Structure 1
Amino acid sequence: MDASGIDLLPAGPVRRVFEAISRHDLDGMVSCFAEDYLNETPIHPDRGFTGRDQVRKNWSSILAAIPDVQPFVVRATTASDGMVWVEWGQRGTRRDGVPVDLVGVSVFTLENDLISAVRFYLEPVEHASGDVDAAVRDATGVGTGGRP
């Protein structure tokens, strides 16, 4: 297995887009998406968008700001409805020296050998975010005087 885990992906547009990201091939990335591609980001609903032009804009900025960015795949599976689920992440270092470490899951919908939609759950890794008890207290407000 390749260290990036990309070989875990099924043949098709999802594998092609990850390979293009690895090569920093912007045109190759964008060519994997339908013109009317829909990006849904349920954790941050205002970040959703439609259209592969925004894919180009986003990745152009990412590649410029994080010149060594590389994706990695932890697990991937194809559901009975043809959707491809990928646990993945990307790492690199911004030009200002700040490390980037994102992980999460994306759920890809495919049509006509293109990515037509993705539900995107990729978030920065918090290496010093506190233990589980602190997280539950923060989420519930219990033990904080009612303040979440």
Structure 2
Amino acid sequence: MTIPPDDEDYVLDDQVGFLLRLAYQRHMAIFTGRISGGLTPTQFSTLFRLREAPGPVSQNALGRLVGMDAATTKGVVARLIARGLIRMEKDEEDRRRHNLSTTQEGRKLLDDVMPQVRGITEATLAPLTPAERATLVKLLKRLI
């Protein structure tokens, strides 16, 4: 099969989307191999955001804090509630809204996995120098 002339200078291995996907797959393999407590990266982020919040957070606000759409947020929240890691309560001022917060069990699990999560980040960035790590994080933040 021949490559069309317009595509001859296109190198998949140099494309940002392709490289980001491969880096993400590598990070996910490290995460799943090292994390305990059965948490996914999204569940971890959700628990962490809830714990760092000054008070209960609405499901809608939580989705924005973690970068999830409404359907994904609903599923993640349902799984964390089923595990007893977060609780949902009706908002006292607006009974249509539900507020979320971590349970004692959820906070304990976070305390237990934090050293692992730090190690996961370290392992993901291991091929880079400290300066390269800082640059990568800075550049990724500019993309989002």
TM normalised by structure 1 equals: 0.23
Structure with the largest fraction of strand: 1
TM normalised by structure 2 equals: 0.24
| Greater relative CO (CA pairs within 8 A, separation 6+) | 2
Structure with the largest fraction of helix: 2
Larger Rg: 2
